[in-house]
Structure 1
């Protein structure tokens, strides 16, 4: 079921042309930057976008310029875990790594304790309004979030990634907020 939903959503997302991705991404980033959790966050973990995801590269540069500390995930294949590495300059610090995603160059890795984070921006493919998500299938984020469930989490997604219900297991960790080009959705009740 998850594989089929993942495939359908990826097809729909990949059908967006580059202009649509940039336009929708711009709307999503605007809503994100207007949120209190963004304004109050000093240490933000965010993925580097690829495969027609909401474009985060410009956002990462803006956050660095604004004086926020930006951390990106570094995947460790052997242990299937995520490490958190600070990025200070996209062009100088990053290169193509696992899964074809930009990751820190070995000499530019600045691994820090994830407990420093105020906000985690979580990638994924399909989402429901409860905050459950279908990721890319590795389970990296669910394992990471299970250890750091006191940090605010959100996902930046296109409206087309929102589905009625994501099948979820006990080990799946929902995000707190979703932001689409149309709205900010609070997923968890207080």
Structure 2
């Protein structure tokens, strides 16, 4: 999928050039939109991601979710099987350390053997998204593998800067679309 690789490179390069002020401002708007989702009323278990390098910032959002009493889960990379594991996070300072690819991951002591079957909501990062919910991730296939196995019942929410909402991308059989995309300007239901 040469075309996917080229698009990924293009969008990640473009994203790396956005100013930190814009990233912070847009991230606050996206997080605020997320907290207004009506789906949160009935949600308990939320899987987020630890933002890095110009991704939509999630640390303030995760603190807010913990403060509001949600059960927060974060992924860790299982390189040997191209999949994500998961851990329940109580404290962002003590429960995380730098892991694979420089991402903040749950410390080994709290990692769970099995992924809970009853995740209510999964926040999904990406380089770009289409309005129909498909995404180009970072090329490892970890999220698609995880979502195809563990996200049947969960609402999948993609976080995306408006400028990386694109008309179309090549879609493969294993790609799993998200149900909602949140940008700094709008909330889009994809299905």
Interval of TM-score (by shorter of Structure 1 and Structure 2):
over 0.9
CA contact (8 A) 1:86 1:111 kept: no
**Equivalent in 176, 184, 188 of residue 187 of structure 2:** 184
* 1:154 partnered with 2:145: no
**Equivalent in 74, 89, 92 of residue 91 of structure 2:** 89
Count residues with an aligned counterpart.
Answer: 188
Where does 1:107-118 land on structure 2 (aligned, <5 Å)?
A: 107-118=109-120
Stretches of structure 2 lacking an aligned partner (at least 5 in a row): none
Choose 107-116 or 3-12, whichever is displaced more.
107-116
The alignment yields a C-alpha RMSD, in angstroms, of: 1.2
Structure 2 partner of 1:65: 67
CA contact (8 A) 1:155 1:175 kept: yes
Cα distance change of structure 1 residues 130 and 20 upon mapping to structure 2, 3 Å threshold: same
Structure 1 partner of 2:130: 128
Shift of 1:112: 4.8
**Equivalent in 95, 98, 101 of residue 99 of structure 1:** 101
* 1:4 partnered with 2:6: yes
CA contact (8 A) 1:87 1:110 kept: no
Post-superposition Cα deviations, 1:66-122, rounded to whole Å, max 9, x if no partner, equal: 100000011111111111111110101100000100001122334553312100111
Post-superposition Cα deviations, 1:127-182, rounded to whole Å, max 9, x if no partner, equal: 10010000111111111111232311011111121111011011111000100000
Structure 1 partner of 2:24: 22
Normalising by structure 2, we get a TM-score of 0.94
* 1:165 partnered with 2:164: no
> Structure 2: how far apart are the matches of 1:61 and 1:109?
19
Shift of 1:7: 1.1
Stretches of structure 1 lacking an aligned partner (at least 5 in a row): none
> Structure 2: how far apart are the matches of 1:168 and 1:110?
31
Deviating beyond 2 angstroms after TM superposition, the runs of 4 or more aligned structure 1 residues are: 107-114
* 1:47 partnered with 2:49: yes
Q: Please give the secondary structure, in 2, of the residue aligned with 1:78.
A: helix
CA contact (8 A) 2:120 2:153 kept: no
